[in-house]
Amino acid sequence: MGRNYSRRLVLAGIGAGTLGGAVLGSSNSAVADEFEPLVYVGTEDNHVRGLELERGREQWAVDMGSRVASPQLAASNGTLYAGIDSSDEGVYALEPEDGSQRWAAETDGRVRSPPAVDDGVVYVGDYEGTLYAFDATDGTELWTFETGNDIRSSPRVANGTVYVGSDDGRVYAVDADSGSGEWTFRTSDAVRTTPAVDGTTVYAGSDDGYLYAISSSGRQRWRFDTEGQVRSSPAVGDSSVFVGSDDATLYALNPATGSQNWEFSTIDEVRSNPVVVGDTVFVGSDSGNLFAVATEDGQRRWEYQTAGQIRSSPTATDGVVYVGSDIESTFAIDADDGSELWEATFDEPVRAAPVVVSETDRQDGDGADDDGSDEAADDDSEGDSDEDDETGAETGSESDEPDVLLEIPGFGIGGAIAGLGLFTYLLNALARD
Please tell me the predicted confidence (pLDDT) of residue 70. 74
Q: How many CA atoms lie within 13 A of 201 on its CB side?
A: 18
User: In this structure, are strands 300-305 and 315-317 parallel, antiparallel, or unpaired?
Assistant: unpaired
121 and 209 co-located in one domain = yes
Is residue 254 one of the residues assigned to a domain? yes
Please tell me the predicted confidence (pLDDT) of residue 77. 73
159 and 12 co-located in one domain = no
Q: Which domain holds residue 85?
A: 28-402
117 and 235 co-located in one domain = yes
291 and 425 co-located in one domain = no
How many Cβ atoms from other residues are within 10 Å of residue 297's Cβ? 10
Q: Which residue type occupies 337?
A: D
164 and 98 co-located in one domain = yes
275 and 409 co-located in one domain = no
Residue 157's CATH number: 2.130.10.10
Answer yes or no: is pLDDT of 25 > 90. no
Q: Are 366 and 75 in contact (CB under 8 A)?
A: yes
Is residue 107 one of the residues assigned to a domain? yes
Is residue 275 one of the residues assigned to a domain? yes
Q: From 42, 181, 177, 40, select the one nearest 113 (Cα to Cα).
A: 42
DSSP bridge partners of 291: 283, 303
Total domains, the chain: 2
Q: Which residue type occupies 315?
A: T
372 and 414 co-located in one domain = no
Q: Are 235 and 276 in contact (CB under 8 A)?
A: yes
pLDDT band, residue 358 (cuts 50/70/90) = low
270 and 410 co-located in one domain = no
* Euclidean distance between CA atoms 403 and 398, whole angstroms: 10
* Euclidean distance between CA atoms 141 and 196, whole angstroms: 26
Q: Are 216 and 235 in contact (CB under 8 A)?
A: no
Please tell me the predicted confidence (pLDDT) of residue 398. 32
Q: Are 397 and 1 in contact (CB under 8 A)?
A: no
Buried b (16+ CB within 10 A) or exposed e, 28-54: eebbebbbbbbbbbbbbbbbbbbbbbb
Is residue 217 one of the residues assigned to a domain? yes
Phi, psi of 58 (to 5 degrees): -70, 125
22 and 151 co-located in one domain = no
Please tell me the predicted confidence (pLDDT) of residue 362. 52
Beta strands in 107-159 (DSSP E): 116-118, 121-125, 130-135, 141-146, 156-158
How many Cβ atoms from other residues are within 10 Å of residue 88's Cβ? 12
Please tell me the predicted confidence (pLDDT) of residue 390. 31
Beta strands in 130-180 (DSSP E): 130-135, 141-146, 156-158, 161-165, 170-175
Q: What is the pLDDT of residues 305-333, one digit of tens each?
A: 999 999 999 999 999 999 999 999 999 99
16 and 75 co-located in one domain = no
Is residue 1 one of the residues assigned to a domain? no
Q: CB neighbours of 332 closer than 8 A, spacing ≥ 6? A: 39, 56, 320, 321, 322, 340, 341, 342, 343
275 and 385 co-located in one domain = yes
Is residue 352 one of the residues assigned to a domain? yes
Report the interhelical angle of 413-432 vs 7-24 (nearest 10°): 150
Chain-centroid distance, C-alpha 76: 15
From residue 38, alpha-carbon distances to 57, 97, 291 in Å are 11, 9, 24
* Euclidean distance between CA atoms 285 and 266, whole angstroms: 6
Choice among 81-90, 192-201, 303-312, 405-414 with the minimum mean pLDDT: 405-414
Is residue 368 one of the residues assigned to a domain? yes
Is residue 2 one of the residues assigned to a domain? no
Q: From 86, 80, 78, 145, select the one nearest 112 (Cα to Cα).
A: 86
The dihedral sign for the CA sequence 247, 267, 235, 375: positive
Please tell me the predicted confidence (pLDDT) of residue 370. 54
246 and 342 co-located in one domain = yes
Give the pLDDT mean for 357-361: 58
Q: Are 261 and 281 in contact (CB under 8 A)?
A: no
Q: What is the pLDDT of residues 216-270, one digit of tens each?
A: 999 999 999 999 999 999 999 999 999 999 999 999 999 999 999 999 999 999 9
Torsion, Cα 353 354 359 363, to 10 degrees, reads 70
* Euclidean distance between CA atoms 261 and 280, whole angstroms: 15
Predicted TM-score of the model (pTM): 0.77
